Amino acid sequence: MAEGTCRLCGTHATLHLSHVVPAFVFRWLRKTSGTGHIRSTEEPNLRVQDGMKRFWFCSACEERLNCLNYNFNLKLRALGRVTPFEAIRQWYQKNPEIFNINTSHLIVGLNISGFPLSRE
């Protein structure tokens, strides 16, 4: 740990060694890589165990960010580790009827600031 100014709240405090990119991203990279390892761009011949870390945040802010990372990771798991766009595409393929949009309630020809919505 080191003393310094927290980059999130700006208080002077003991700073914790924090991942620049969340650790779960590097676990996913290792899991999905062809070799099970990751490498750095500075020294591509050496394997990297973990992502870059810096003394950036006080303990309170580090805890807040850990909770955010945990919640984000839970959401990714709920999506089955696919992108949100891919998850929506899969939901659409299973249940296309839930994506039907009823437009009967829309007002056609509404004039806002002189710009008509429909061309006549």
Candidate from 18-22, 48-52, 77-81, 86-90 with smallest mean pLDDT: 77-81
DSSP bridge pairs for 19:
53
- Biggest CA-to-CA distance, the chain: 69
Taking 70 as the threshold, does the pLDDT of residue 116 lie above it?
Answer: no
Per-residue pLDDT tens for 55-83?
Answer: 988 898 888 888 777 777 766 666 666 76
Burial class (CB in 10 A: 0-12, 13-18, 19+), 61: buried
Report the SS3 class of residue 113. coil
- Checking DSSP bridges between strand 53-57 and strand 12-19, what pairing results, if any? antiparallel
Contact 58, 3 (CB under 8 A): no
Per-residue pLDDT tens for 39-53?
Answer: 878 888 888 887 788
Looking at 7-107, list the stretches that DSSP marks H as alpha helix, in order from N- to C-terminal side.
Answer: 23-32, 59-78, 84-94
What's the number of domains the chain is made of? Answer: 1
Taking 90 as the threshold, does the pLDDT of residue 14 lie above it?
Answer: yes
Contact 104, 94 (CB under 8 A): no
How far is residue 7 from each of residues 18, 28, 55, 58, measured CA to CA in Å? 11, 26, 9, 8
Of residues 23 and 55, more confidently modeled: 55
Containing structural domain, residue 24: 2-116
Provide the pLDDT confidence category of residue 12 given band limits of 50, 70 and 90: very high
Average pLDDT over residues 29-45: 83
